[in-house]
Structures are given as C-alpha cells and as structure tokens.
Structure 1
Amino acid sequence: MTVPITPLKQDECAPLEDAGLGALRTDRGNLPLESVDIAADLAGLVAGVTVTQDFRNPYDVPLEATYIFPLPARAAVTAFRMEADDRVIEGLLKERAQARADYDEAVAEGRRAAIAEEDRPDVFTIRVGNIVPGERVRIRLTLSQPLPYEDGAATFRFPLVVAPRYIPGSPLDDAPAGSGTAPDTDAVPDASRITPPVLLPGFPDPVRLSLAVNVDPAGLDLRELRSSLHVVETGEHGVRLQPGERLDRDFILRLRFAASSSLVLAPDDGEGQAGTFALTVVEPVGDAVSAPPPRDVVLVLDRSGSMGGWKMVAARRAAARIVDTLDARDRFAVLSFDTVVERPEGLPSGLVEATDRHRYRAVEHLARVEARGGTKLLQPLREAQGLLADETRERVLVLVTDGQVGNEDQILGELTAGLTGVRVHTVGIDRAVNAGFLGRLASLGGGRCELVESEDRLDEAMEHIHRRIAAPLATDLAVEATDLELLPDTVTRPGSLFPGVPLTVRGRYRAAGPKAALAVRGLDAAGEPWLRTVGASTAKSPAVRAIWARAHVRALEDAYAAGDRSLEQRIVDTSLRYGVLCRFTAFVAADSRVVAEGGPGHQVVQPVELPSGWEMPAPSAPGYGAAQAGMPRSAPAHLNRRLMAARPQRASFAAPASADSAPPASPAAPGARESQLTSGPAGPGAAAVYVRALLQEELARLHAIADRPAAERRRHLTDLGSRLGGLAANLPELLPVAHELLRAEAPDTDLDALWHRVIELLTELTGGRDKPAAPRRSFWKRS
C-alpha cells in the first residue's frame, strides 16, 4: 500500500526530546530517513568515502523506504552493505535487471532487502524493503573519487541534495519507472527516478547530518583548508561539520598545496604483472600563452526560472567577463535562453567581430537578462553548434548554467558528433549544481568544467575561465610508453593541457619493467613539438583501479547515449569485473530471514530539502519535476504536474508556506503557453481525461485488494481520500466522497458500504472500465 505524505498543522507535531535536531512526532509517524553520516579520508588527490544512511520504521506495518540522493559525479561506488537486527548483509553487484528481480523476490517473501541503483552519474536511488515496525536499518556505501586540482588547490566536493530538474518532452504511456514526482517522457524516460518530492521552505530538517573529513597530505605541502558553504570545526587531522547543518547544498572543501607531475602504477592483487596507472602532468600558470590565435566564441547563457536570485546575478557577471576577454581578432555570439532563444538587439544573428561596439551591445543585453521560464537547453546548443562551423579558427562554446535538466542523455546523444573540434567549457552556477552532466558535456570538447557555488568565489573562478577560453599550452596530445605495456583500448583520451590545470590520463597495463615511464607528446600554441616524460612509482592503491574503472565505464555509457547500443554488454561486463556501480548494474543485499509476512504494508518516498538559494517554484513553473512536493505517489507520474495547482497545499511533511514566504510569480516568458500542462494535451478537458485515467487505475486497485483484511482496506480508503481530494478541482463530483474517505478508519464507519459506494462512483466516472496496469519496460532502454 502506498502512503501519501500529507501536510502537518502546527498542533499535529511536536519535537522529540531525544531524537535529535528537527525530528518530529506525529500521528502518522516520522519520515523514514533519520540520519546521514559521511566520513571521508583524503590522501593526496584521492578521497575514500563511506556514506551511512539510517532508516527507521515508525509505522505499525512493515515499510519500504525509497531515497533519491546525490553522490559525486566522478565517484566509483565499490561496496554496499545492509545492517539490521545484529545482522550484516554484504551487497552483491549484479546486472540491473537481475538485481531488481532478486530484490523484488526477497521483499515479496517477507525478507529484508536493499538495492542501490545509479540513475545519473550523480543521482542514485536506494530502496530498503521490509523494515519492520520500530526497527532501524543501516545502509553503508563505500566509494572512491579523484580530487580535481587547479592553481595550487584541490577541491573535495560532496553533493547533499538532488535539485529539481527541468523535464521536457511528452509523457509516456508506460507505468512510471520510479517513485519521483515528474512524469517519464520521451525526452527523459526515467524522469520519475530523478525527481524526489521536496519539502517546503521553513520546515525543520528531519534528517540529522554529520560529515567529517580526515586529511592526509600524502607528502604534499598542505598550506590551507577552506570550507565554502558550510560551517566547520577544524581539528588536527581535518574538519567536521558543526551540528545543525542541512542537506540542502554541496559540501565543498578546498585544500591548497603544490602538486607535481607523477605516474603511479597500482598492480592488481594476486599473480601477474597487470595493473592500473594514473598519470598526472602539471604545468605552471606562468607558462600561459600570451597571444591566443583568432577564435570563434559562442556564449550560451541559461536564464531559466531555476537561475533566479544570486545565481542570475553571478551568471550575468560571468558572461559579461567572458565577453570582455575577447579581442578584435575574435568573432562571437551571445545566446540567452529559457523556453526560447534570444540574441542581443542591434547585433546580427550570426557571429560578429569582437569590436568595442559589439561587445558593449552584448554586455548591455546581458545586464537586462532576468530568470524566467524553463530550461530548454538542447535548442540553443544546436544553434551554437551551427555557428561554430569554421574549422580554420579556434572554436569555443561556453555554457553558463546550473545544469538542472533531466534529458542529459538526449542532449549528449544529439550533440556528440557535431562537437568534434569544438572546445566546450561549462560554468556551473549553483549550490547544488548538476556537476555530472556539465562535466560530461565539457569532456566531449576537451574543455573544462568550472563550478561556482557563491558570488564570493566568482572572481577566482573567472580567472580560471579566462585561461580556459584562451589557447591551451598543448594540443593533439598522445601518450607513448617506455618499458610499460599498455592496453590501448583502456587509456583515457588526453585532451588538451591548460596552464595550472593537471592533465590526467588513466588506463590499464599488462606488464611493467623497472624503467617504466610515459611520455606525452603534442603541439604547443605555435605549432612546435611539445614533450613531457614522467617516470613511474609503484603504490598499492585499490582506489586507482576503481577510479579508472568508473571513468572508463562512464566513457562507454556516453558512447551508448550517443547511439552505440552495441556497448551495453561491454558496459555490464566491465562494471562487474572491476566491481564499480554503473547505470546497467546495481548492488543488492537480501537477508535470508523472513521478518514480514506478506511484504511491506507502507511505501514512503523520502522528501528532500529545497536547495539553498532556490525559491519554491510557483505552481505554473514549467517542467520542474520536483517543483512541488506532496503529490500522491500512487498517482501516475504524468498527472503530478497537471494537478499541482488544484491540490490544496499538500507537501511532503512540510509546513504550509506563509504569505510572506510565498515566491513571486515568474514573469511571463515568451512561449508561456508551454506551462505545466504542455507536456500533454492542454486545457481543462484534457486535464479531466487524465484524471479519469487515474481513476481507472484506482478502480482497478480497489478490485484487486477487495479480499484484504479490513484494517488494510480502511487504510487504503483513507489514503485514497487524500488523493481524490487533490483531483476534485477537475472533477468536483469527487469532493464529497473524498471527505468521507478521510474518516474511513473511524470505528463507526461502515467499511463495506463505503467501499461499494466508492466503486460505484469511480465506475460511473470512468465509463465502467478498469484500466490494466501498463507493462513495465527497462526504463534505461526506452527509445
């Protein structure tokens, strides 16, 4: 049975004295996720992290809890464990369909089980089934991640919330692929897996967060630690979050030290000489090229609704600074977009010379840009790609955005071939940025991804961006081995080398001799030969292998998204061989002990915080899947946005927002007709059609559980009442019965009479038809 998460009045909840910050006691119980603990060990430029999530069942029946959460985009998840009732069950990595089958079988048999799945490089879903009443279940994830390094500083970034994402496309007829709030569409076939419900602002955080980072410089000269967005306590060996911090923004720690070129060989365990290598080449900032060649630069600026507030201010400043770096030899274009693409007034539609007059017009246009509308990112990138057609010039595309879109695979698949020879730089501006997508997009063009989490860091970030738009130190790079036998199809693409930014190449080797070394050859900015040679050192580091394996699998996944479907089995085999999670595999842990006869009686999707700096999108905000919390999870996902405005202040355990805190309505954008109803047929009549489709599913469900025990049927009717209340604006006939159903669990209610009356009403409203559930297909293979 699915439990809708309904709003609480102030007199319906009270703090628990011994349950920690933000915990609540209610008649309906607490949310299942009690705490998140993150323990990171940083050694040089590698981090090993353990994430612990504690779930508790506050209900009187077994519970299945679902949590949609982020992890670092470049992290390799290598282990998964479930702990409950003094039992420890290690997770097994399996092909995703098999892992799901094992999980479903265990849950149906009444055994505890948990499954961890990757839906994006930085978005994951955990389901924990058959948590018995009052029980706590602990989930542990182990991962390794590289630390990006630039200008003498490394960054440890750990995301803590999945931000709402714009979901384009038309709804699919299939059953939802996940438990989120957005419909699956032809552009984002798994949208319902990446859109968790969102708590309204002002509600106390129900999840206790702890995060500690232990720092081992590993021989490097560590000079400074800086935390960007959180308040931390500094100790002898690292930092720890102060109590009370929230899961609403990325944790960012910067470590300042001097890195140098290195080649690390990490032999495999067991016999043989095979292993994994990691090559790092660092060139000082002083070697920057003073006179870059003539360039064609297209700047694409995201002005969608999610960019409101400080993000829009920072994006305008960043875009204007980029325009100011151009000189008279360059040509450029500026495209600002939401649901439409706009160009500066007074400038031609194509590339223009970067004269003072043209740059002034562009900066004047940027100063007037305000946030509005949806994030229709594909069209402006297509237009930018079309402008960058002159192969005789240095071609540069710069995207300034928060990256909060759900159709990443569609964008990458359509743009990959056309970006050959174009250097793509991405500037991600947000406190909970979609770093996975922006990094993948930048890597297609051999560019860089710069993340800006606050206005305070904008100037520092713009210095990096300026150098990246300029010519790199070396291009056309290739790796040559000495006394080291490489496996060619495992070596990552070198890309280009920029001053102050390490060039990292990873791969596998079959054998290594005592004088093993790697040479990187290429051409400098003047077209002259460029060479660096680095000798090898050996280290026993499983993280080197895991980080390479995840990067290698991700490159294969990107090629799969671009259309090479023959790679599916290779992706699965590589993931299983090296023990790293990917989108085609999953970790599953299933207990052998039966603890819940009949399986879970409740299903709850854990709501997440609204990201720091975001305003709650208005009901008319187009396309944001998690814009409004509290849509009943049992409703088909394609109805959630259409019915949002009709639902009377429902939120996932969230206090109703006051009038003072209500966000202002977004300015009407061109193409504003493409509101939330545009992902399907528009208009009240179409909404009624969709509501009737929902009622057919509710009617079929009533028939299916007609023989269940009375207590379960009463709970189902109560939940159904809350769902029908949200639909009554489109079908007023539902309102009286919805109110009556909310009292279904009262002792004086005639259950059988009420049951039959509801069936008669729904049969009349749906024309007497029960709608069978749509067959579920593998969502990651939908076309």
Structure 2
Amino acid sequence: MSIAILDDNQLNSAEPILSEAGFGAMETSRGNLPLAALDLDVEIVGLIARVKLKQRYYNTHTQPLEATYIFPLPDRGAVRGFKMTVNGRVITGEIKERGQARREYDEAISAGKSASIVEEERPDTFTMRVGNIPPTAFAEVELELVMPLVWRAGEATFRFPLVVAPRYVPGMPLPGGQVGTGISPDTDAAPDASRISPPVLLPGFPNPVSLSIDCSIDGAGLEVQNIASSLHAITSGKSGSKHLIRINPGERVNRDFILRFQTSGAELGSSLTVIPDSDSDKEATFIMTLMPPMSAVDMRRPRDVVFVLDRSGSMQGWKMVAARRAVGRMIDSLDAIDRFEVLAFDTVIETFEDTPTLKEATNRARYRNVEWISKVEARGGTEIAPSMETALKLLSDRSRERHVVLVTDGQVGNEDQILKHVKKHNHGARVFTVGIDRAVNAGFLNRLAQETGALSELVESEDRLDEVMDSIHAMIEAPLLRQIKLGFDGATLIPDSLTPREPLTLFAGSPLQVMGRLSLNGEVRARVRAAGRSGELIEEVVASSSTSDTAFSAVWARAQLRKLEDRDVVEGHSSNRNKIIELSLKHKVLCRHTAFVAVDHSSSVEGKLLQVTQPVEQPDGWDSDGFGGGMALMSAAPQQGAYTQSGVMPPLPGSPLPRHSPASPAMYSKERKAESAAAPRKKSLLGTLTSFFSSDGFSEETEASEISEDAEVNELKILWQTLLNLLDLGSLDETLRSELEDVLEEIEAGTANTLEDLMAHLNAIAQQHGIKTDTEPAAESLEELEALAPVSLDVAFSAVLREIRRRLP
C-alpha cells in the first residue's frame, strides 16, 4: 500500500478512523503523517522576493492532534506575517516575546483551543507547532516573508530551502529533559540540539508531502533571461512582462529549490534607496548597493591561504568529489608568492605533512598536495572548531592577505559555539565558506563568512561547481576596496545601525549591499571613500531614490537582528536581548527572542491530545551511509507525548560515530533490537578506527584538547560501541554478540568503566570463544594510557586500539 495525497473533496468525505497503524509502519492506506502539503507562492520584483509559504496539516486520527514540524527558511528572509486557518476560520497571528507567546500557546492547548506557534531556532531553522487540530480536520498555517536575492556577475539567485538535513552534534549530554522533540540530545555544545534535529524517514518511504511552487518574476527595468531551476523540474511561460514559473507535479521536499536568471538591459551602477518611516518623516531606512569599480588597480598581494576540507561522513558521495575538486582547483590558482596549507578534518585533522605549516605555493608543493587531496575519503564526525583554530593559528603574518577557505556542507548543530570559537582565535583573517550540498546549512555558512568580512558561495552539484569556480577564485583574491567609509549629505547615520558591520570590504564580481538607519534633514546622497588594492583612494557620490515599500525596511530589520544576536553569541552574553526584542516587535520581524502565535478562541475540542513530530525526507544526494555522527534515520509513526528515539535506526556503514556524540551510547542497547527487527542492525565505525584498522599504524601526533575524567569515560563508551560494530562485521555468532553487548550495558551502567575493567572483560570473552589472546592485559600499556588520557585524546585512543588489535585478530 502507499500513502495517498487526497484532494479536498476526498478528505472532507473521509470516513472516521477506527484504528491506528502500528509503530514503525512504513505506509498505510490513509497515511499517518500530519503534513499533507507545502505551497510556495513567490513574487520577485527586481532583486526582492515576497514569499507566502503555506503548510497544510490533516488529522487522520480520532483524537485531537498536535503536529510539530522542524523546517527551514532562507536565512536572509524576514518573516513578517503569520496566520492560521482551521475549520474555515482565519486567525491572524501576533508577534510577541518568545516566552509570552509560548505561555499563550500552552494555555490555549490546555483549554482545548486550536492554536499554532512558530519559533526561530537558527537563522534558517524554525519550529512550527499546530495544536488541537480536530479529528478528520484540516489546519493551514501561512508565513509571509521578504528576502533579497543574491546577485553576482549578472546572475540573480532565489534559493528556498525545503528540508533540514541531519546535523552533527558534539558535546556532553545535558542533564534533565530535552527542550525539543527532535532526535539529537541537547549537549553543552548545542543546548537546543533537540529542536533542530527532525526525525528522518526511512529510505523508500512514499512521497508524504505534496509540493507546489508558483513564481513570478518582474525585472523592474532589468531584462530577465535564461531562467533555470537546477534541482527541480519546472514549467515556464510569460504573462505580459512577467515570467511565470511552476514546479512540475511530483517533485519532492528533499532539496533546496534554486531558481537563477540572468539580468541585462540596464547599466547597473551603485545605487541608494531611502525608505522613510511610515509614522515619521524624520527617520528612514536605507539600502545601498556598491558595485565593483571598473577602474580598480589589479595589483596582486602575497596571500596566506589555509584550505579547510570537510571529510566527515555526511560528505560521502558526490559532495566529497566536488569538495576535493574545489580545493584542488583553488590550490592550482595560487602564485609562487603565495603560501598555503590544507587541513582535512573529521574527528581528527590531517595534512599532507606531519605538522600543519604554511608552505610556498611552488609547482611541486601544489602538485603534491592536490595529489594527496584526491585520495581523501569521507568518514567521521564534523568537528569544525578544532580545524578552524588550527587554521587561524597559522595566519599570523599581518603583512600578507590572510584567508581561510572552509569547504563543507555545514551540517553541524553547534553553530554558535563555532562562531564564538572563530572569533576568539581570529586576528583579522577572513573566513570564506564554500557550501556543498543540495540541502546546505546556508545560514551557518553565511554567518561565519559575514562575521569575518568575507563571502560565501553555495554549490548544489558538480556541474554548478564548474560554473562558479571563477567566482570562488575571485573570493580569495585581495578585496577591490577595503576600509569603506560612508558619509551622507542631508542625513546622519544612526549609530550601530549599519549592516554588515564595519570594516566594509568589496570583492571582485560581488556587489556589496549595505543597509542602515538615517536621521533625515534634507535631500539625501551618499559619499563613499575607500582604499583600493594598491592603497589608492577611491571616492564615489551616490544619489538617492525613495520608496514607501516596507519590504526594504523588513530586510534591514532582519539583518540588524541577526547582527545583534551574533554579537551576543561571540561576546558570550545577552546584553542586546531587550534591544533585539524591541526591534523585532517594532518591525514585526521574527527573531530568536520572539515568536508568532495564533489562537482560535471560538470553539474547543475534547479528547486526549495526540502529539506527532513530522519526519522529513532523506536529503537528496546523500548516500544512505552518510547518516553518521549520531544522525539517525527515523521511522514515521505517531506517538503520545514528545517524540522519542524509540524508532531510531543506527547510523549506516561508512558513517563513523563522532567521538563526542552523546546520541551514541543509547543507540545500540538490547531493547532496540526488537524495535528494529524490520531493519537489520547496521554497522558504523569511528573515523579514527577506520584509519587504524585499514593500515599498519595509527598517528599519535594529532593534537587534541584536554578532556575531563567524565569525558574520558564517555569516550570509552563510544569506543566500545564501535568495537561491537567492528566485531559485528565479522562472522561472529549470536552468543558472542550478546556477551559483548552485556559488557556494553555494564559500561553504560557505570559498573565497569575503568580501562583495566574494559581490557579484562575483552580478554575473558576472547578466551572463552577461542580467540587468540594473551593471558592478561599488558600493564605497561594500561599505565601509559592512564598517564596520557588527560593530555591527548588521540594518543589515548591509539594505545587502546593497539591493545585491542593485538588481542582480537
């Protein structure tokens, strides 16, 4: 049987449901997932898009339903409108402080009222809850947002994400209950991991969501040509001067929707648009676009460039191939006056040579590093922070251009921690990001680049990589303009209103968009002063035009809110919280500290509330064995109460468990066997184990941070889990597997968590089953391990693995 997507008439005439599908059901005749449809209505005028996103939920059950959906939105999109429709009644949502909005929603649900609330978790990740949907009834929520298009080298891009991909979550588990209903436990590195980790449908699940996208494009004076969608099939036409685009039926919600078009027909120069406040003629918002100067001096400065290559499990398949090609081609573009290094990272950092160091970009050095990169394969977890720290420490020579180029899919849950870490260790280097994925974590990559005054480029296919390599090369050149200063005639810049934050820089091929607030006192024009590549003074005067379109003000408010939020993140406090809330409420633009809530007070529903977290599709282009690092595939089934992990399918082969993943310890216990009977246990390896067991040795020179005693115990638990997976790969009988799992349970219970206990258990089991082993653990090895463990985690793992390898052939 398959899930049928019914039309309105079919759903309205549906018979009452008398029984529910069993746990773990892959499909039913009526479907058991609440999200029935996503409708996207997009209107593009010039380089601004206005979007209405409708999510339609249907309660197939005999009791009231609360549906939770973790979904993405464009990170630069300003959510400024919300409404809910239930049983034919339309309720306009209100934006309120987040705690107040949650209280109103919870009180409404407790009283049997239908209600909905939308909250921001990350700049591009949101949570929707729609509660007390009556049995056999629809509920529809609509979000209204505005966003700027990315424009580079004559090409405009509208990117709308459709699925939140699994993300690697490092750190130690936090005590107490989870703050969300996702599958990743909250940790000290990502305290809200359970709010950004939706369950993932098992492979082969029928298409559960109907997707429609309608888009119109009005060039507003620009000629629009060569419209193309890179990941979804579309049908296009024209109505007057507007281009009409519609996605073809049957397209899935498992990748970003990306629409690109060329612009021509008008000479594009720097521009300044002023938007006076509707309630005052004394203040205004401005948006200025600075175009690269045609007369800029092409003077090449020596560069130090560190390429940071993500080789984690989620990069498997075409992404790893594209990432290797991208880094290789950037290395080939370096000159002899440049210096470079390449760091390939997962849970460890590897380089072509033993110790990371900048080397001159000679032909020999470039060739040898490109050859080494071509053999890098995906494995392990996505430990970005240590690799970024290593890269930034290499860039200390302030007399040279200093760049880090991070090539990754960005699928991590500890974005704030990484941002703060980079700020701490960075002393003026720019961090350029190249995001490679069809469901890329664009919000994080854009934040990281913008925080350091750099750029981000997103690549959704190998073909697209070829198209944008010139743009990527241009990114790592010296800026065309630096130290850009703005002055105004007829207005005064309101302090701390400028986005992006200063110092402002402009790169070849990429216009710089600057926004801010002005106090008006006359006719406005801008004066731009900047330094060129050779230090020459560049000056430009830009006249202004005015508009009453509030979309521009919303775009500025969104950028300003994110700037203030990131400032609190990198500075480690929340001093801007009240300012953020005030700005969000004034402009009615959603942020982390506010939420939209809608409550239907006209009627109530009765019955015990059924709670379901909507699973999402496996991202397109991800190998099934790319779900590593604590990221699990989920079966789709409704449960009472918060979504639990009882439907977890373990990571698939080739996807190493992260050393610090708190999701791992509970993933292989005995009680999970029965629940996953329909899907046989899969195996997973640590990235470090992959290296060790596939070679004759293991590098003990990898630098690692200090760890606490508790952290060491947790690491050993994960080591033992990985050992079980290794043994599972062989032809071992069920009795041996069971005994090994008994040992794991003892370790998890804390009754056998010393190193000596672990080695003794392994020794006893090996002897009992006739596996060649020594009579007792090597005391000197254990003493060495105990001494090294607090200092270097990698060296500790090396000693343990060497001992295990010696005992178990």
In which range does the TM-score fall when normalised by the shorter chain? 0.7 to 0.9
Deviation digits for residues 139-184 of structure 1 (CA, Å, limit 9, x no counterpart): 0000010111100011000000000000000111121010100100
Q: Deviations over 1:361-393 (max 9, x none)?
A: 211110110001110110000001111111121
Percent identity between matched residues is 48
Partner of 2:189: 187
Aligned residues of 1:183 and 1:192 also touching (Cα < 8 A): yes
**Alignment correspondent of 2:735:** none
Aligned to 2:597: 588
Distance 1:14 1:458 in 2: 37
Provide the TM-score with structure 2 as the length reference.
0.78
Structure-to-structure mapping, 1:370-449, within 5 angstroms: 370-449=377-456
Q: Which residue of 2 aligns with 1:606?
A: 614
Shift of 1:245: 0.3
CA contact (8 A) 1:112 1:128 kept: yes
Note if contact 1:213-1:239 (Cα within 8 Å) is conserved in structure 2: yes
Q: Determine whether 1:174 maps to 2:183.
A: no
Equivalence for 1:80: 82
| Pick aligned residue for 1:293 from 301, 308, 332 | 301
Q: Does 2:143 align with 1:141?
A: yes
Q: For residues 187-222 of structure 1, what are the alpha-carbon distances to aligned partners after superposition, in whole Å with 9 as ceiling and x for unaligned? A: 000000000000122221110000111101011122
Is 2:511 the counterpart of 1:509? no
The correspondence of residues 42-121 of structure 1 with structure 2, limited to 5 A, is: 42-121=44-123
Counterparts in 2 of 1:632-643, with a 5 A limit?
A: 633-635=642-644, 641-643=664-666
Q: Residues 395 and 614 (structure 1 numbering): CA distance in 2 closer, same or farther, change over 3 Å?
A: same
Alignment map for 1:668-687 (pairs within 5 Å): 668-670=689-691, 680=714, 682-683=716-717
* Residues 175 and 636, structure 1, Cα contact 8 Å, conserved in 2: no
Larger relative contact order (Cα-Cα within 8 Å, sequence gap ≥ 6): 1
Distance 1:16 1:649, change over 3 A: farther
**Amino acid paired to 1:466:** H
Instruction: Tell whether the 8 Å contact from 1:339 to 1:670 is kept in structure 2 after alignment.
Output: no
Equivalent of residue 345 in structure 2, options 327, 331, 337? 337
Gaps of 5+ in 1: 1-9, 688-726, 733-783
Offset, 1:262:
1.1
Distance (Å, rounded) in 2 between the aligned partners of 1:639 and 1:423: 32
Matches of 2:72 and 2:473, distance apart in 1: 30
SS of alignment partner, residue 457 of structure 2: strand
Q: Secondary structure at the match of 1:328?
A: coil
**How far has the Cα of 1:292 moved from its partner?**
1.6
* CA separation of 1:731 and 1:329: change in aligned 2, threshold 3 A: closer
Matches within 5 A, 1:452-531: 452-492=459-499, 493=501, 495-514=504-523, 516-531=524-539
> Any unmatched runs of 5+ in structure 2?
15-25, 647-660, 699-703, 705-710, 722-740, 747-809
> What's the offset of the Cα at 1:564?
3.5
Partner amino acid, structure 2, of 1:302: D
Matched with 1:275 is 284
Measured after TM superposition, the shift of residue 486 of structure 1 is 2.1
Displacement of 1:648 in angstroms is 4.6
* Residue 249 (str. 1) matches residue 270 (str. 2): no
Q: Is the 8 A contact 2:172 2:662 kept in 1?
A: no
Is the CA contact (8 Å cut-off) linking 2:525 and 2:543 kept in structure 1? Answer: yes
Give the C-alpha shift of residue 485 in structure 1: 2.4
CA contact (8 A) 1:202 1:657 kept: no
For 2:485, the aligned partner's letter is A
Superposition deviation, residue 615 in structure 1: 2.0
After superposition, the Cα gap between the structure-2 partners of 1:504 and 1:16, relative to the gap in structure 1 and judged at 3 Å, is: closer
Report what 2:165 is aligned to: 163
Secondary structure of residue in 2 paired with 1:490:
coil
How many residue pairs were aligned? 669
Displacement, 1:269?
A: 1.3
Q: 1:37 to 1:15 in 2, by over 3 A?
A: closer
Counterpart Cα distance in 1 of 2:5 and 2:356? 61
Change in CA separation of 1:283 and 1:96 when aligned onto 2, cut-off 3 Å: same
1:200–1:656 Cα contact (<8 Å) kept: no
Q: Is the contact between residue 342 and residue 352 of structure 2 (CA under 8 Å) also seen in structure 1?
A: yes
Q: Counterpart of 1:714? A: none
Higher mean alpha-carbon deviation, 160-169 vs 320-329, is at 320-329
Instruction: Tell me the CA shift for residue 18 of structure 1.
Output: 5.3
Find the aligned partners of 2:327 and 2:127 in 1 and give their Cα distance.
35
Do the aligned partners of 1:169 and 1:679 also contact (CA within 8 Å) in 2? no
Letter in 1 for 2:103: A
TM-score (normalizing by structure 1):
0.80
Instruction: Report the residue type matching 2:474 in the other structure.
Output: R
Q: 1:47 to 1:17 in 2, by over 3 A?
A: closer
Return the offset for 1:595. Answer: 1.8
Q: How far apart, CA to CA, are the structure 2 residues paired with 1:427 and 1:378?
A: 16
CA contact (8 A) 1:181 1:192 kept: yes
Task: Assess, with a 3 A threshold, how the Cα gap between structure 1 residues 485 and 96 changes in structure 2: closer, same or farther.
Answer: same
- Determine helix, strand or coil for the equivalent of 2:141: strand
Q: Structure 2 CA distance, aligned partners of 1:183 and 1:457?
A: 35
1:61 deviates by: 0.5
Report the 3-state secondary structure (helix = DSSP H, G, I; strand = E; otherwise coil) of the residue aligned with 1:555.
Answer: helix
- SS where residue 458 of structure 1 aligns? helix
Q: 2:213 aligns with which of 195, 211, 214?
A: 211
Q: After TM superposition, give the deviation of residue 185 of structure 1 in Å.
A: 0.3
Equivalent residue, structure 1, for 2:37: 35
Residue-by-residue CA offset, 1:403-460 (whole Å, 9 max, x unaligned): 0000000011122143242121100000000000000000122111000000011122
Q: Residue 239 of structure 1 corresponds to which residue in structure 2?
A: 245
